[in-house]
Homo-oligomer: A and B are copies of this chain.
Amino acid sequence: MATTQANNRRDTLAKRYLETRELSNTLIAPLSAEDACVQSMPDASPAKWHIAHTTWFFETFLLKSCESNYRPFHEAFEFLYNSYYNGVGAQYSRPDRGLITRPSLDDILGYRQYVDARMGDLIETLDAGDPAIDLIELGINHEQQHQELLLMDIKHLFSLNPLYPSYASGAPAISAPEPHALGWRTHSEGIGEFGSAGSSFCFDNETPVHKHYLEAFEIADRVVTNGEFLAFIDDGGYQSPLLWLSDGWSVVNEHSWLAPLYWRQVDGVWHEFSLRGLHPLDLSAPVCHVSFYEADAFARWSRARLPSEYEWERVAASRTLNGNFLDLSCLVPKPASIEGSYRQLFGDVWEWTHSAYTPYPGFKTAPGAVGEYNGKFMSNQMVLRGGCCVTPPGHTRVTYRNFFYPHNRWQFAGIRLARDLAR
């Protein structure tokens, strides 16, 4: 009986492992070896690096420790494809990842096959309580994160090419110009429990469950649209220092920001670059690729504010986890649907919160090198919630904490407004 359950869990794991690995292969299919090799900025990585590094993760944390006498695919890969795990050893310089033209993309696909074959064998042998199971689960979720990063990074790379290549063909249909009106939902004050109890998979940064007190608040029932953000631009938002955080105002001026990252004016008409190329801006679609600073300034201009991550989680807690997630037939955020008391909570765009990314009360890092997974990044970044249109389905959840620096814009980040209730 227990054996059957173990077998079932093992089979499920094997299936999810293979599906996840296969999705990565699908994602790079539209890319040439050249596309997959180049790094467009230090924050981004080559697609080839992503699919090598996710393989490295399984090789390093599973095969090297579980397989006796495991022979690495290539001795240098431990160094070359280690992202940031000092506990494993030294790392090849991050801003130089794009210089590694050899091993080739084909070599890395061979690396994937080599590791997948051995991982298949390994999963076969696992007992129900084997700690390797949790590490494989972590590796699957880790690869999903890199699938999203891979699409973010390719979008950034292609955006710098004056030919504006498309990752996928076919510009999205433009919606009717008027989005469903924005409504506000009220939440009363009180104490609640937040974070994950860890009964199903979560990252360490979502733990432990803990109490937090919330004041009453209002929150918008959909995210901000391109049309609404354009009104901010047209009202001189990028030229009004009083709307901005001081650090944000410095960044705006240093980089001469005038619009979201991928907006372009073509003959006086606003366009947006997406994974489907350059096309006219859809005013009803969510504004996307804004920094925390821009989200915060827009909210101030709107006489509102960003929600805290606790507020967001309270709102999301009772909702069904449906949304516009990674789907090769879409790949762009979509306008809000007409119905539903909350729209776009999950998927479409990550939603900036005004919560700094800090450890939850009682947070502990895992022992060993995987303890470096999340904890060491808990400074200077802000939390985003909800997932986006390039987040693999099933990857995000109510307690999921994404995080980026307040100046970052290349992730699919948008805005949901909140407000204090008069007291």
Contacts and interface: CB of A to CB of B under 8 A. Distances in A.
A372 interface: yes
Contact of A362 (B161, B248, B376, B420): B420
A162 interface: yes
B215 A362 contact: yes
Contact of A380 (B38, B96, B247, B378): B247
A102 interface: yes
Contact of A34 (B105, B191, B210, B214): B105
A308 B356 CA distance: 13
A387 B103 CA distance: 33
A120 interface: no
Interface residues of A, number: 66
Interface stretch (A237-245, A257-265, A324-332): A237-245
Nearest to A38: B101
A245 B98 contact: no
Interface string A243-276: 0111111000000000000000000000000000
A354 B361 contact: no
A38 B162 contact: no
Contact of A361 (B80, B296, B372, B420): B420
A301 interface: no
Contacts of A406: 379-380
Residue with the highest number of chain B CB atoms closer than 10 Å, among A86, A247, A378, A380:
A380
A377 B246 contact: yes
Contact of A35 (B102, B242, B246): B102
A292 interface: yes
Interface in A146-186: 157, 160-163, 165
Which 4 A-B pairs give the minimum distances between C-beta atoms? A356-B356, A86-B241, A34-B101, A34-B37
Interface of A: 32-38, 40, 76, 79-80, 84, 86-87, 92, 96, 98-105, 157, 160-163, 165, 191, 208, 210-215, 241-242, 244-249, 292-293, 296, 308, 354-356, 358-359, 361-362, 372, 376-380, 406, 420, 423
5 contacts: A34-B36, A38-B101, A102-B165, A245-B376, A356-B356
